[in-house]
């Protein structure tokens, strides 16, 4: 299993204070990686570091917004000085704003695209330049079902996640020659704080997802850990520009009527 061993590796997970980011970070730490997480909220960062250290993981945290390219550059520099060269970058930090496209405010649309797409590019460029000098690395962009499918009220998010899929492919194209593998993970519908508003018992969307998903359940954050370790390890050294959808089969099927087993 040395193929999946991350001992001695440093993994930067943007966000990483809860939900999918935390589950992937724990998977990387269980495989031996040292963790660096980021957040824009001091309390969230402290609580997450306490959680990771409570589990015996080596973890450090940095407070900044991935859309602030000047501060992000300073923070990445500081991370490398204080922790070491970054071997793995998981672009997980993301937001969503559910609003019909006819009425969504432009600055709300811009903010979602800024965090979910431009922020990922800012971090990939900063860490990518260091990986070129250090001989290579792994970049994992957290995409979505909305990288492939549309849905009412999530136009900004879909635009950003669709763009992130193509950014993944383009960075893979440009950086493979530096031994940098750039891939993505596309989570399906997972039980997280982000989906809590649409995952309420009796909420039509909740029933819809359970019926629409061949696995007939919402994903659990830990369902992502294995894919994160695979894309962060030597096991994926010839995997590049791929989006691995972890979705219980949603993208594989047209779905079925609710009265069909």
Please list the active-site residues. 157
Cα separation, 248 vs 18, whole angstroms: 21
Least separation in angstroms between CB 177 and ligand GCO: 31
Minimum distance from CB of 69 to ligand GCO (Å)?
Answer: 25
Distance CA 106, CA 79 (A): 34
Residue 148's nearest CA partner among 181, 186, 102, 120 is 186
Q: The tokens 């369902």 sit on which residue?
A: 223
81, with CB counted inside 10 A (0-12, 13-18, 19+), is exposed
CA distances from 18 to 86, 104, 218 (A): 21, 27, 17
Q: Which is nearer to ligand GCO, 19 or 61 (CB)?
A: 19
Nearer to ligand GCO, 25 or 154 (CB): 154
CB of residue 213 to ligand GCO, shortest distance in Å: 11
**Could you list the residues that contact ligand GCO (CB under 6 A)?**
96, 98, 144-146, 151, 154, 157, 187-189, 194-195, 198
Nearest to ligand GCO of 37, 224 (CB atom): 224
């Amino acid at each position: 299993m040395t193929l999946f061993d991350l001992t001695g590796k440093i993994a930067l997970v943007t966000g990483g204070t809860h939900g999918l980011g935390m589950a992937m970070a724990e998977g990387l730490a269980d495989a031996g990686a040292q963790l660096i997480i980021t957040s824009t909220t001091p309390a969230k960062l402290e609580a997450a570091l306490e959680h990771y250290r409570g589990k015996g993981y080596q973890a450090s945290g940095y407070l900044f917004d991935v859309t602030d390219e000047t501060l992000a550059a300073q923070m990445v520099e500081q991370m490398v000085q204080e922790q070491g060269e970054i071997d793995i970058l998981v672009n997980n930090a993301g937001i969503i704003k559910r609003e019909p496209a006819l009425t969504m405010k432009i600055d709300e649309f811009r903010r979602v695209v800024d965090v979910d797409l431009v922020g990922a590019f800012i971090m990939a460029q900063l860490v990518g330049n260091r990986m070129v000098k250090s001989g290579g690395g792994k970049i994992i962009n957290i995409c979505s079902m909305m990288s492939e499918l549309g849905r009412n009220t999530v136009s900004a998010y879909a635009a950003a996640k669709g763009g992130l899929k193509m950014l993944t492919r383009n960075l893979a194209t440009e950086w493979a020659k530096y031994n940098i593998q750039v891939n993505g993970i596309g989570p399906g519908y997972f039980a997280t704080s982000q989906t809590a508003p649409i995952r309420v018992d009796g909420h039509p969307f909740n029933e819809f997802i359970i019926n629409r998903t061949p696995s007939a359940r919402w994903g659990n954050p830990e369902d992502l850990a294995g894919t994160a370790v695979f894309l962060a390890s030597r096991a994926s050294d010839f995997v590049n520009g791929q989006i691995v959808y972890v979705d219980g089969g949603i993208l594989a099927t047209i779905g079925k009527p609710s009265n069909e087993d």
